[in-house]
Amino acid sequence: MPEIRVTPLGAGQDVGRSCILVSIAGKNVMLDCGMHMGFNDDRRFPDFSYITRSGRLTDFLDCVIISHFHLDHCGALPYFSEMVGYDGPIYMTHPTQAICPILLEDYRKIAVDKKGEANFFTSQMIKDCMKKVVAVHLHQTVQVDDELEIKAYYAGHVLGAAMFQIKVGSESVVYTGDYNMTPDRHLGAAWIDRCRPNLLITESTYATTIRDSKRCRERDFLKKVHEAVERGGKVLIPVFALGRAQELCILLETFWERMNLKAPIYFSTGLTEKANHYYKLFITWTNQKIRKTFVQRNMFEFKHIKAFDRAFADNPGPMVVFATPGMLHAGQSLQIFRKWAGNEKNMVIMPGYCVQGTVGHKILSGQRKLEMEGRQVLEVKMQVEYMSFSAHADAKGIMQLVGQVEPEGVLLVHGEAKKMEFLKQKIEQELRVSCYMPANGETVTLPTSPSIPVGISLGLLKREMAQGLLPDAKKPRLLHGTLIMKDSNFRLVSSEQALKELGLAEHQLRFTCRVHLHDPRKEQETALRVYSHLKRWAPRSFWLGLGRSGARGGSHCASRQRPQGPLRAAPSRWVRDCGVHPHPGCCPLRGPRHQGAAGVLDLPG
């Protein structure tokens, strides 16, 4: 039985460490190669030894696909390719290829320089790893080898985020990575065509949430910043360097422009500056507004947003500062926070989720006195606001995408088990699509019924098509012909040609049977009655043809109607037609139903 096997090594009923193995028609593909934020031991990387107990990964895996540059999707890549050892191709989009090494380098620095870890990948390894990357364009079909092809679609989660379709022959899988169905200020909404894959692997971060309109959130955010600036306060916005930060920058930038505001906006330097550069470059990956206006002015060439310097924090007057990191646990954002916390005019806006134990989490849960290192107590007088800007699809968005793709099955990853359960139930109920949610290391096997292309001569097709009068596109149609299997090659030809090719003569078989009629009438009369009866019931000439093909309208060769399994094991040379033409007069009492059964003889195993 042909099947698709999916095994999550990470992100199965979990968020973080995305890594999913897919075997499809004999090809093995690894989707994403991420690290886990929550662990510092071996668990932070996927267990690659699962893939192959012994032997090289390169021999086993046909390719690796990275959906976007977030570390939980690409963080383990250098480890995987350089330390474990993988030399095959790694596919990702151009922006991901550009930004990914910056983030990996940053991650390495924190791990090695700050935490002093040994046995971690080096800068050189990152470089070597990136050399194995093949960049793809949106909607470009990339032929990995003769059979395996992949295609990227826009996902709208971060710059360069993509969904991938993996296709072998007629079997295909779509992996969404992280995606967003509602457009934001700098990215568009995810889009994919109705490709009807066998399986859709989708993230489900917000499986149980339907979100409010983004406009309310934006408006609230702008209003709060505006008010704080107007009364002369300083606003601190701790952000992660990439993604949301750019969105918020654009939001503030346009607002400043519209409202003619003069207060300065600063952005902490370093990593982000490099990233901003890439945002400027990859304009085609942004949303409609930015794409349309960049000729006049690139939206990422911020007019009001300047680079931050440590000394600016003490400047008088209102200002807005974006600073990393986003959870206020260390670095510049924490320094600024300590400086400004004492003034009630100031404000801090947390635009995202904060992990327990960080300063961010403490102030969000309402703590007003913070104990800093060295037994210092910091009193927080400044306003603390929380705004959620997240770029994952919500439950409705996920359903919308599933509806758009029309898969045969859905597999949920990248979410919490409890929430997945709900979504799974909904998908099965409302879309009537089977749904899976494997845990890490658990394998889902999905039987497929691949369609086998059968060549048919145009002449035969046209002749058979001409028999029906009205177009009936969606209904399978009966075609008569002879199926020839030769060197894993299937052809449907007319019976005459088949005979010719095989050098066989036509044999006629005649079936006769005797029927006793007990009719009191005269011979002649009886014969007439029988004749008229037959004429009514069997108006068409009936003859037996054996090749059966439900042609779908005019689609060129055969069909979605899949021949049954035994065909596969068939010997290389086979003929399945006897060219049987029963004499119409010889089986007189056969009704139409019998004829049907005879006409569609199933192939014997």
Partner 1 sequence: MAAHLKKRVYEEFTKVVQQQQEEIATKKLRLTKPSKSAALHIDLCKATSPADALQYLLQFARKPVEAESVEGVVRILLEHYYKENDPSVRLKIASLLGLLSKTAGFSPDCIMDDAINILQNEKSHQVLAQLLDTLLAIGTKLPENQAIQMRLVDVACKHLTDTSHGVRNKCLQLLGNLGSLEKSVTKDGEGLAVRDVQKIIGDYFSDQDPRVRTAAIKAMLQLHERGLKLHQTIYNQACKLLSDDYEQVRSAAVQLIWVVSQLYPESIVPIPSSNEEIRLVDDAFGKICHMVSDGSWVVRVQAAKLLGSMEQVSSHFLEQTLDKKLMSDLRRKRTAHERAKELYSSGEFSTGRKWGDDAPKEEIDTGAVNLIESGACGAFVHGLEDEMYEVRIAAVEALCMLAQSSPSFAEKCLDFLVDMFNDEIEEVRLQSIHTMRKISNNITLREDQLDTVLAVLEDSSRDIREALHELLCCTNVSTKEGIHLALVELLKNLTKYPTDRDSIWKCLKFLGSRHPTLVLPLVPELLSTHPFFDTAEPDMDDPAYIAVLVLIFNAAKTCPTMPALFSDHTFRHYAYLRDSLSHLVPALRLPGRKLVSSAVSPSIMPHEDPSHQFLQQSLERVYSLQHLDPQGTQELLELTIRDLQRLGELQSELAGVADFSATYLRCQLLLIKALQEKLWNVAAPLYLKQSDLASAAAKQIMEETYKMEFMYSGVENKQVVIIHHMRLQAKALQLIVTARTTRGVDPLFGMCEKFLQEVDFFQRCFIADLPHLQDSFVDKLLDLMPRLMTSKPVEVVKILQTMLRQSTFLHLPLPEQIHKASATIIEPAGESDNPLRFTSGLVVALDVDATLEHVQDPQSTVKVQVLYPDGQAQMIHPKPADFRNPGPGRHRLITQVYLSHTAWTEPCQVEVRLLLAYNSSSRIPKSPWIEGGEVSPQVETSIEGTIPFSKSVKVYIMPKPARR
Q: Catalytic residue positions?
A: 203
Residue 217 in the binding site for partner 1 (CB under 8 A): yes
Among 213, 296, 488, 524, binds partner 1 (CB under 8 A): 213
Residue 57: Cβ within 10 Å count: 20
Distance of CA 104 to the CA centre of its chain: 24
Nearest CA to 450 out of 212, 175, 147 is that of 147
Q: x/- binding map, residues 458-477, to partner 1, per CB under 8 A?
A: ----x------xxxxxx---
Work out whether 140 is an interface residue with partner 1 (CB under 8 A): no
Is residue 74 close enough to count as binding partner 1 by CB under 8 A? no
Task: Tell me how far, at minimum, the Cβ of 552 lies from partner 1, in Å.
Answer: 8
Of residues 459 and 566, the one with the C-beta less far from partner 1 = 459
Our finding on whether 381 is near partner 1 (CB under 8 A) is: no
Binding segment (CB under 8 A) for partner 1, from list 10-18, 26-34, 163-171, 258-266: 258-266
What 3-state DSSP class applies to 62?
coil
The mark string for 425-464 relative to partner 1 (x by CB under 8 A, - otherwise) is xx---xx------------------------------x--
Contacting partner 1 within 33-72 (CB under 8 A): none
- Residue from 53, 114, 194, 536 in contact with partner 1 (CB under 8 A): 194
Q: How many residues contact partner 1, by CB under 8 A?
A: 65
Tokens of residue 204, six digits: 């489900």
Residues numbered 385 to 424 that lie near partner 1 (CB under 8 A) are: 385-386, 395-396, 399-400, 403-404, 419, 422
Site string for partner 1, 552-581 (x = CB under 8 A): xxxx--------------------------
Does position 174 bind partner 1 by CB under 8 A? Answer: no
Q: Does 222 bind partner 1 (CB under 8 A)?
A: yes
Angle in degrees, CA 39, 45, 51, rounded to 5: 145
Q: 539 is written with which tokens? A: 């108006």
292 vs 522, beta carbon nearer partner 1: 292
What one-character DSSP code corresponds to residue 244?
H
Q: Which residue has the tokens 């603390």?
A: 384
Comparing CB distances to partner 1, the nearer of 105 and 416 is: 416
Query: Dihedral of the CA atoms 401, 210, 7, 60 (nearest 10)?
Result: 50
Q: Which is nearer to partner 1, 257 or 525 (CB)?
A: 257
The binding track of 228-257 with respect to partner 1, each residue x by CB under 8 A or -, is --------------------------x--x
The span of 162-170, 185-193, 325-333, 585-593 binding partner 1 (CB under 8 A) equals: 185-193
Q: Is 298 in the site for partner 1 (CB under 8 A)?
A: no
Contact criterion met (CB below 8 Å) for 427 and 399: yes
| Edge-to-edge strands, sheet with 383-386 | 305-307, 265-267, 319-323, 234-238, 347-350, 383-386
Structural tokens at position 134: 């093949």
CB of 85 to partner 1, least distance (A): 41
- Beta bridge pairs of residue 265: 305, 320
Q: Which of 193, 301, 428, 442 binds partner 1 (CB under 8 A)?
A: 193
Between CA 293 and CA 128 the distance in angstroms is 38
Query: Looking at beta carbons, which pairs linking 251-260 to residues 24 or more positions away fall under 8 Å?
Result: 251/185, 251/218, 251/221, 251/222, 252/222, 252/225, 252/304, 252/305, 252/320, 253/299, 253/302, 253/303, 253/304, 253/305, 254/185, 254/299, 255/222, 255/225, 255/226, 256/303, 256/304, 257/303, 257/304, 259/226
As a whole number of angstroms, the distance between CA 127 and CA 59 comes to 22
The nearest distance, CB 353 to partner 1, in angstroms, is 10
Tell me the closest approach of the beta carbon of residue 467 to partner 1, in angstroms. Answer: 12
Is the C-alpha dihedral spanning 264, 267, 269, 272 positive or negative? negative
- What is each CA distance from 133 to 128, 150, 327, in whole angstroms? 9, 14, 32
Span 316-355, contacts to partner 1 by CB under 8 A: 350
The contact set with partner 1 (CB under 8 A) reads: 182-183, 185, 188-189, 191-194, 208-220, 222-224, 226, 254, 257-260, 287-289, 350, 364-366, 383-386, 395-396, 399-400, 403-404, 419, 422, 425-426, 430-431, 462, 469-474, 552-555
